[in-house]
């Protein structure tokens, strides 16, 4: 078992306070596990940001993509590109170290590198590699009184078909998340120059 489990101190009826633009919630981080038979090679390649909790990294951006390259020693490189108003490109490049080794989808992500390499700040919690990936990160604040959350649905294509999307949103519900709190990312009328192409 991965030492990620944190006490579940609250129930599903979470009180959400929107402070600035991040999801801040009462209590400790929820009990969410990373994928345990993870394949970094299969995770590599181009992903589209399909929807997310509003976050400061891609706030207000459209056409957000990320290209992930698998490296040696459980290190992934990511290259994220999004567009602000008037198609001003915003690029974010960094490293994601697999915190618990190559088989576990738990990452210490940083730009350029995470400050704390012994604690994951982003987990792949659900993935089929060909169509979608669900990424979740959480950090406790104020000694566990509240926490900050990130959640992304990534897709291999700019848009997902309705049945696929429905299935993903159902899986999110099963993980204890509220799919309707996710914000879809505009992937229409996008520039051609996606990263690494």
Ligand X SMILES: *[C@@H]1O[C@H](CO)[C@@H](O)[C@H](O)[C@H]1NC(C)=O
Interface ranges with ligand X (CB under 6 A):
39, 41-42
d(CA 142, CA 116): 18
Residue closer to ligand X (CB basis): 101 or 191: 101
Nearer to ligand X, 38 or 53 (CB): 38
Preceding amide of 107 cis, omega within 30: no
Facing residues of 122 across strands?
107
Q: Which is nearer to ligand X, 44 or 187 (CB)?
A: 44
Q: Rounded to the nearest whole angstrom, what is the least distance from the CB of residue 90 to ligand X in the complex? A: 30
Burial of 3 (0-12, 13-18, 19+ CB in 10 A): exposed
Query: What is the number of other CB atoms lying within 10 angstroms of the CB of residue 60?
Result: 11
Closest CB to ligand X among 16 and 69? 69
Q: At its nearest, how many Å lie between ligand X and the CB of residue 113?
A: 25
Among residues 54 and 75, whose Cβ is nearest to ligand X? Answer: 75
| In the complex, least distance from residue 106 CB atom to ligand X, rounded to whole angstroms | 17
Task: State the minimum distance, in angstroms, from the CB of residue 163 to ligand X.
Answer: 23
CB of 180 to ligand X, least distance (A): 33
CB of 45 to ligand X, least distance (A): 9
User: Which residues, in sequence order, are bridge partners of residue 138?
Assistant: 149
* Between 96 and 182, CB nearer to ligand X: 96
Distance separating alpha carbons of residues 75 and 42, to the nearest angstrom: 14
């Amino acid at each position: 078992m991965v030492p990620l489990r944190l006490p579940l101190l609250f129930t599903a009826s979470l009180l959400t306070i929107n402070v600035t633009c991040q999801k801040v919630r009462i209590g400790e981080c929820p009990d969410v596990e990373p994928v345990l038979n993870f394949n970094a090679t299969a995770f590599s390649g181009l992903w589209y940001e399909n929807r997310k909790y509003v976050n400061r990294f891609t706030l207000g951006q459209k056409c957000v993509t990320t290209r992930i390259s698998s490296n040696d020693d459980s290190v992934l490189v990511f290259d994220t590109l999004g567009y602000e108003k008037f198609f001003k490109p915003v690029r974010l490049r960094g490293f994601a170290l697999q915190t618990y080794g190559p088989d576990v989808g738990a990452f210490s992500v940083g730009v350029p590198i995470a400050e704390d390499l012994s604690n994951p700040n982003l987990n792949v919690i659900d993935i089929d590699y060909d169509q979608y990936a669900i990424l979740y990160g959480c950090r406790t604040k104020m000694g566990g009184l509240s926490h900050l959350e990130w959640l992304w649905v990534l897709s291999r294509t700019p848009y997902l078909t309705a049945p696929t999307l429905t299935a993903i949103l159902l899986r999110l519900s099963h993980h204890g998340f509220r799919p309707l709190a996710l914000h879809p990312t505009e992937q229409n009328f996008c520039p051609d120059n996606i990263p690494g192409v």
